[in-house]
Chain A
Amino acid sequence: MIYVVIGFLWLSICLYVILGGADFGAGIVELFTKKRARDKTKEIMYESIAPVWEANHMWLIIAIVILFVGFPEIYTTMSTYLHIPLVLMLLGIIARGTAFTFRHYDAVKDNWQVLYTQIFYYASLLTPFFLGLIAAATVSGSINPDATTFLDLYIFSWLNWFGVAVGLFTVSLCAYLASIFSLRETTDRLELGLMIKKSKQTMTFVVITGGLVFLTAYLSGIPLVKWVFSKTLGIISIFFATVALGLILKAMKNRKLLPVRALAGFQIIMILVAATYQHNPNIILLGNGQHLSLLQHVAAPKTISALGWALMLGSLFILPFLFYLMASFSKLRK
């Protein structure tokens, strides 16, 4: 049953990064779009997310609940030593979620929209940045429970160049996902051209910030290259991600966009696999040489079995209903 629970943890993290990430990305892309083209971009991107955006963010809650019920030590270690970036990420989640709703549901459309929109933009940027920063801190060994000073315990546990690089990489990934996802929202030639240009720009950023991640890892003595390339699965996932990139470029060139969303989602999964497979089942690598493992630092068997059943039964209800929601609205837009 433990593997069922770990599977669901994986699934919810992947789905949050892909679906939630694309939502964040929509805000980021809009922020970096010149004022002239903003309204157009906004229109294309929001028609696609409005009915499902609430559901996309539920995946984070599912992941958190799995962590605190099934892996309490992992949850409390993160919430103790990564307190500050977690609070900042929360700020982003709150500001973004509410600003999005407010800008959509405010009965009067006036200057307040400008404020909601500004909050929405910066929160969309802030959240994935800290999400990446937190993910980086779990593997970089920067969390050290044996440290003695406030700075070492609670600040340098997350504040380092590697974390910043992973944060920027996550931001780029989100923007990339959003622009790829929006490709299928329009049939207008001009609009499509605009969005393809955006997709290529964001793709460039993903590559640059990805390089930055490797560079900072090297400079900070984190064996990232070894993690990714020393095992077959890691190499295979990187290979597949690259192939998918080529296929997306080709699809964009030929304007045959049917598979782009699936390909981009697949790329993200491959990147996540490559980044985490090497130290699996360890999920947090601490600065004092110890690890927190999904197989060892786990709740009592009865809890895990109840949690596994709850997740399986829950998904029996959720998944068909969710797919029906997504399918209905994408059909209605056509």
Chain B
Amino acid sequence: MDDFLAARAQMAISLGFHIVFACVGMVMPFLMAFAHWKYLKTNNEIYKGLTKAWSKGVAILFATGAVSGTMLSFELGLLWPGFMKHAGPIFGMPFSLEGTAFFIEAIAIGFFLYGWDKFNKWFHWFCGFLVGLSGLASGILVVAANAWMNSPSGFDYINGQYVNIDPIKAMFNDAWFPQALHMTVAAFCATGFVVAGVHAYLIMKKKNVEFHTKAFKIAAAFALVGAFGAPLTGDVAAKSVAERQPIKLAAMEAHFETEKGAAFVLGGIPDEEKGEVKYALKIPKVLSFLVSNDFNSEVKGLNDFPRDEWPPISVVHYAFQIMIFFGVVMISIGAVYLYAVFFKKDWLTKNWLLKTFFFATPFGYIALEAGWTVTEVGRQPWIIYGIMRTVDAVTPMPGIQYSFYFFTAIFVSLSLIIIFLLRRQIHMVPKLYDPTDAQFNDKNMKS
């Protein structure tokens, strides 16, 4: 394997895994704090058990997210020293703030996990909430740094030199808001669906039904907000991409020829040589509308750009299609659920509804990963859009393929262990977390 390809693959794997850990770690605390709030308001012990059960998930995923994040802070330099040497001082501001947010998260999680019955109950609750809040802040800050790579600002690039550096301007680049907004909503959607799916499955198993139903309701509410929010925020993000990175938008849609009233291309197989998309469903004029709210506006096509600045068209196009497909599926599920909540209460306990949620468990994360693939692969061949090419940033050290194998092995084994651990937590629900179960004995539980 070529060193450059290996470095890119390693970065993709690392980010791909970290995104999952980080998003769960960002949203689960809110689920947990919500259940905790319910407990404090109602004094229903089931909510207390649920809070504790979810907090164990938060602890496991937070620790994993923290180490994979630590790895990434090193990998940036290990793999892309050419990039970090110049970009570090420009886009580093959000990272230095993120350090604070992350630190507060770590402290708050210590208070929350070990603080049951030891502190004022609302202080304890607030610490749990703070875990979510600071996690969210971390996520937004890191996305702001990524956004800078798409929309470099806060410096002047003169004769190969980076001058007049302004890190604050760099942080508030044009892409940060749309990216951070869409990402946050997507994280809620993805995590909501995962948690709802798991609890739906457990309700179907007819064990601890009340416990899991309470859990399911909370998670489904989060999933719903995310599912409906994703297309709205996605629209903001797409308009921003069209303005800043027209070539990325063209790749997402495999849109080759510049035209007025461009069609929205769904599916299909792009042929880069011939410049066409086979077997696609084309909805006339919709792409123009989505980009500018005008059915007849002009959308730039790939052929207007030099060939050596094209990102890999197929990857970007397929990833975008996958994201849209799963997004639409999740909206539909959300709509059915909402209808059931308001008009058909008896549907809520039906197996088919629970089964649907169970099948949808990974959908949010598939869409989220696909969306990040669009963002990252769509920026290629640039690491700093329009300024530095990825190939010029890679480390001079040979043999990166071994590093790639090594990191892949680490991430795969970490994920397997996490799945194993979470399964064991779930198996222990009757004994440790559900106070209405006959086997329940919280003396078994270490805090």
Residues of A within 8 A of B (CB): 50-52, 54-55, 57-58, 60-62, 64-66, 68-70, 72-73, 75-76, 78-80, 83, 86-87, 90-91, 93-94, 97-98, 100-102, 104-108, 150, 153-154, 299-300, 302-303, 306-307, 310-311, 313-314, 317-318, 321-322, 325, 328-329, 332
Q: For residue A152, give the distance in angstroms from its CB to the closest CB of chain B.
A: 13
The answer to the question of B403 belonging to the interface, with a C-beta cut-off of 8 Å to chain A, is: yes
Docked-complex contact B421 and A105, CB < 8 angstroms: yes
| Interface secondary structure of A, over-half rule | helix
- Tell me whether A302 and B110 are in contact (CB under 8 A): no
Interface contact B114-A329, CB-CB below 8 Å: yes
Q: How far is the CB of A281 from chain B (nearest CB, A)?
A: 18
A76 to B77, CA, bound (A): 6
Residues of A within 8 A of B113 (CB): 51
Contacts of A322 in B (CB 8 A): 103, 107
B102 near A317 with CB under 8 A, answer no
Please measure, in the bound complex, the distance between the C-alpha atom of A168 and the C-alpha atom of B113, giving whole angstroms. Answer: 35
Bound: A318/B96 CA distance, A: 13
B92-133 interface with A by 8 A CB criterion: 92-93, 95-100, 102-104, 106-111, 113-115, 118-119
Distance in Å: Cβ of B285 to nearest Cβ of chain A: 46
What B residues does A65 contact at CB under 8 A?
73, 92, 95-96, 98-99
- Given A93-B67, A98-B417, A154-B397, verify A72-B89 contact (CB < 8 Å): yes
Closest chain-B Cβ to A148's Cβ sits at a distance in Å of 12
**Interface magnitude class on chain B:** 35 or more
Known A54-B109, A62-B99, A91-B410; contact A107-B424, beta-carbon cutoff 8 A: yes
17 interchain pairs, CB-CB under 8 A:
A58-B102, A66-B96, A68-B84, A69-B89, A72-B89, A83-B397, A87-B403, A91-B406, A94-B70, A98-B67, A101-B59, A102-B417, A102-B421, A108-B428, A300-B165, A306-B93, A310-B93
The answer to whether A79 and B96 touch (CB under 8 A), given A318-B103, A322-B107, is no
- A107 nearest in chain B by CB position: B428
Contact: A69 with B397, CB < 8 Å? no
Q: Residue on B with the closest CB to A331?
A: B118
> CB distance B406 to A87 under 8 Å?
yes
For B63, what are the chain A residues with a Cβ–Cβ distance below 8 Å? 54, 97-98, 100-101
B92 pairs with A69, CB closer than 8 A = yes
**Complex partner residue of A314 from B74, B99, B110, B119, CB under 8 angstroms:** B99
Using known A-B contacts A51-B110, A325-B107, determine if residue A57 contacts B66 with beta carbons closer than 8 Å.
Answer: yes
B206 close to A (CB within 8 Å): no
**B283 interfacial contact with A, CB 8 Å:** no
A300, B421: Cβ atoms closer than 8 Å: no
Are A97 and B66 neighbours in the complex by a CB distance under 8 Å?
yes
Q: In the assembled complex, which residues on chain A have CB atoms less than 8 Å from the CB atom of B71?
A: 90, 93-94
Q: Chain B, 292-330, contact with A by CB distance < 8 Å: what is the 0/1 string?
A: 000000000000000000000000000000000000000
